[in-house]
């Protein structure tokens, strides 16, 4: 299957239980997932089955990329990249100029897509106050940043 074989759509609060289950199965933090004004997710479906996700947590003109997950049997087929591009589109539409992320496993993936490693001390205070930074991601997670306007 190619990314064009999947249906992508914005999440609704009704999707949150399935989204949390997908994230937990991928070993990602899910306790604070709550689709709404601050958190927006793009979901990928194969038929009725949720097979991928990515989110943006909004903090003014900054955003935190989060919850990029693809079910194991569909990895390596371009779905993560398709989700990543849609996440950037959502961020741009919402006025985000700079994206941040924390990762323990996907730093090379993010670097190939324009993110650069930074120190956590370089993150704006409002982003650093998010649960991902304060408690959910380990201190060993790589912190990264990218300009959303950059291709």
CATH number at residue 72: 3.40.630.30
pLDDT for the residue numbered 4: 65
Residue 55 phi/psi, 5° resolution? -135, 165
Average pLDDT over residues 3-25: 92
What is the number of domains present in the chain? 1
Name the residue with tokens 């996907």. 106
pLDDT for the residue numbered 136: 66
The 8-class DSSP code of residue 131 comes to H
Burial classification of residue 44, based on how many CB atoms lie within 10 Å of its CB (0-12 exposed, 13-18 middle, 19 or more buried): buried
Give the burial string for 70-86 (b: 16+ CB within 10 Å, else e): bbeebeeeebbebbbeb
Whether this prediction's pTM lies above 0.95 is answered by no
Confidence bin at 31 (pLDDT 50/70/90):
confident
Q: Which residues contact 134 (CB under 8 A, 6 or more apart)?
A: 128
> What pLDDT digit, counting tens, does each position of 103-118 carry?
888 888 899 999 999 9
Average pLDDT over residues 78-99: 94
Average pLDDT over residues 66-86: 92
Give the burial string for 1-34 (b: 16+ CB within 10 Å, else e): eebeebebeebeeebbeebbebbeebebbbeebe
Domain extent, residue 107, equals 3-147
Q: Which residues contact 68 (CB under 8 A, 6 or more apart)?
A: 53, 54, 80, 83, 84, 87, 106
């Amino acid at each position: 299957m190619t990314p064009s074989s999947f249906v992508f759509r914005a999440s609704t609060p009704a999707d949150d239980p399935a989204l949390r289950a997908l994230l937990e199965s991928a070993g990602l933090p899910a306790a604070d997932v709550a689709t709404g004004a601050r958190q927006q997710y793009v979901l990928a479906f194969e038929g009725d089955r949720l097979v991928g996700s990515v989110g943006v947590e909004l903090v003014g003109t900054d955003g935190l990329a989060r919850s990029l997950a693809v079910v194991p049997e569909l990895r390596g087929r371009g779905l993560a990249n398709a989700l990543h591009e849609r996440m950037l589109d959502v961020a741009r539409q919402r006025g985000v100029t700079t994206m941040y992320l924390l990762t323990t496993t996907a730093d090379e993936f993010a670097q190939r897509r324009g993110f650069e490693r930074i120190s956590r001390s370089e993150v704006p205070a409002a982003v650093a106050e998010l649960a991902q930074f304060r408690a959910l991601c380990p201190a060993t997670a790589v912190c990264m940043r990218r300009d959303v306007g950059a291709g």
